[in-house]
Amino acid sequence: MKLPIKANPYQHQKIAFNFALQKLEEQGCAALLMDMGLGKSLTSIAITGQLFNDKKIERVLVICPTSIIGVWLEEFKKFADFDYCIEAIIGTTMSKRKDKLKLLCHKIGLKVAIINYEATWRMEKELNIYKPDIIICDESQKIKNPSASQSKTIHRLGVKAKYKIILTGTPVQNSPMDVFSQWKFLDPNIFGLSFYAFRNHYAVMGGYYNHQILRYKNMDELTSKAHSVAYRITKEEALDLPEQIFLNRYCELEPTARKIYDTVVKESYAELMDGEITATNVLTKLMRLSQIAGGHVKDDEGRMQVISKSKLNELKDIMEDVIIDNKKKLVIFARFIPEIESIKSLAREMEIRYSYITGEIKTEERSEMCSKFQNDNNIKLFIAQIQTAGLGITLTAADTAVFYSLDFNYANYSQAIARTHRIGQKNTCTYINLIATETVDEKILKALESKQDIAKNIVDNWRDYFKKGE
């Protein structure tokens, strides 16, 4: 069967497409558990197009994180080979959102409404009036909490829809308990309606008031039931993607910056010893150290000051090598806004044109920024705040990326890596971590290399992060 898309799909996409159509026909639901970069949205577009061509659906509702609404719009425009009309249900006021949904109902072709998770419970009444034939939950781990308002709303919407699909590469983020709410949306018959019954069947409870999970049980049964409607594929299984190379470039803080850093370490350690040890307290102090390692510190008036150009000088060498000498494109990830501003200034000084995204850039503008980088040969540099570049964007025009600073969260780090190492990438991908020696940078890198989230063990191991680098 030819897929109704303007692309030559990979074999795993064809398999996912056929699997989903079969499960939708048999059980009304399907889970596509596909790693980042494997084309979940493209496959879903093909599925909806086929169902529309077969006269089985007329209205689609895509629920996704705000950051990737623009990606869905672009993907439909690029790949859909059937009549459709699409509307992002976003706007400055709720009345504008409602008007967009009403207007969509009167359009011709397959009607596709895209909305973010947070807005679903506010617009439940209007979404029920829209009457979607199929609901697609992209990054469905967003509904892993069965007691959250948005999860409950989506469960109720799901009961009324003819077909349901979840898309995620990480259905389980924290524990196997994450499965319940996502599969409840798909089909309540798989694991039942009660989370407590589910938890008691698959977990051994104990501790204070019997509320603590001591261990898990019946995992083979849970996996079997979950996979009864799920197609799972990893990058390693799906694609012959190019090799990845990880490099560390070390920078020495200047004497003045080193003195400031060491002073803040001592002060932070003393404050923690005398105060309450909480994850928030420790992470706040680590964040300050990370900022100093990147060359910035707040003065007494709260203004951010540049105290080191060590990383910036190292970055300049990399930009000269990649962009100027080798005529290639480059991606730079950074955590903090002052770092991004310094990088932008450097790019202007070097007369290098760039696109960038931060948390301050409107969601609907981010995909445009990415598109410019991907398609405009004159734009050689893409600068991205790690937290905003994790989901949905493609940066395969570059095969080299620099991490100017590192995020504490492994998922954010790995998702940033996946922006260049994904379908469409033909070259070996190189990732360069800029590390300020004898700083928290070394500790963060060690944790990330072990695929650890610092926040999960920070309370027990906080002292390790306030020692000089090993």
* Structure tokens, 97: 């959102």
- Where residue 391 falls among pLDDT bands split at 50, 70, 90? low
According to the model, what pLDDT value does residue 359 have? 84
Q: 403-425 pLDDT, tens per residue?
A: 999 988 887 888 899 889 887 88
According to the model, what pLDDT value does residue 428 have? 92
Has this prediction a pTM greater than 0.95? Answer: no
Based on its alpha-carbon atoms, the radius of gyration of the chain, rounded to whole angstroms, reads 24
* Out of 7-11, 208-212, 309-313, 452-456, least confident range: 452-456
Task: Tell me the CATH number for domain 244-466.
Answer: 3.40.50.300
32 half-sphere exposure, CB direction, 13 A CA radius: 32
According to the model, what pLDDT value does residue 469 have? 42
Mean pLDDT estimate for the chain: 90
Domains 11-238 and 244-466 share a fold: yes
- The DSSP code for 325 is I
Q: 452-463 pLDDT, tens per residue?
A: 777 777 777 788
Q: 195-236 pLDDT, tens per residue?
A: 999 999 999 988 777 778 889 999 999 999 999 999 998 877
d(CA 124, CA 8): 37
* Structure tokens, 85: 């009309």
57 near 260, Cβ under 8 Å? no
Number of CB atoms found within 10 A of residue 409's CB: 18
According to the model, what pLDDT value does residue 470 have? 40
- How many Å separate Cα 251 from the centre of its chain? 29
| Cβ contacts of 335 within 8 Å, gap of 6 or more | 290, 294, 385, 386, 387, 404, 405, 406, 407
- How many Å separate Cα 296 from the centre of its chain? 27
Helix (H) or strand (E) holding 84: strand 84-88
Rounded mean pLDDT, 26-41: 92
Q: Give the strand pairing for 212-216 and 203-206.
A: antiparallel
Amino acid at 246: F
- Where residue 449 falls among pLDDT bands split at 50, 70, 90? confident
User: Residues of the chain with pLDDT > 90: what percent?
Assistant: 66
**3-class SS of residue 390:** coil
Q: Which residue has the higher pLDDT, 187 or 275?
A: 187
Q: 360-374 pLDDT, tens per residue?
A: 887 768 878 888 999
According to the model, what pLDDT value does residue 322 have? 95
* Out of 31-40, 49-58, 105-114, 189-198, least confident range: 31-40
User: Residues of the chain with pLDDT > 70: what percent?
Assistant: 97
Residue 390 has pLDDT above 70, yes or no: no
Residue 149 has pLDDT above 50, yes or no: yes
- Where residue 468 falls among pLDDT bands split at 50, 70, 90? low
Domain residue limits, the chain: 11-238, 244-466
Residue 1 has pLDDT above 50, yes or no: yes
163 near 155, Cβ under 8 Å? no
Superfamily per CATH, domain 11-238: Tandem AAA-ATPase domain (3.40.50.10810)
Q: 41-95 pLDDT, tens per residue?
A: 999 999 999 999 999 999 999 999 988 888 899 899 999 999 999 999 987 788 8
Number of CB atoms found within 10 A of residue 344's CB: 15
According to the model, what pLDDT value does residue 91 have? 75
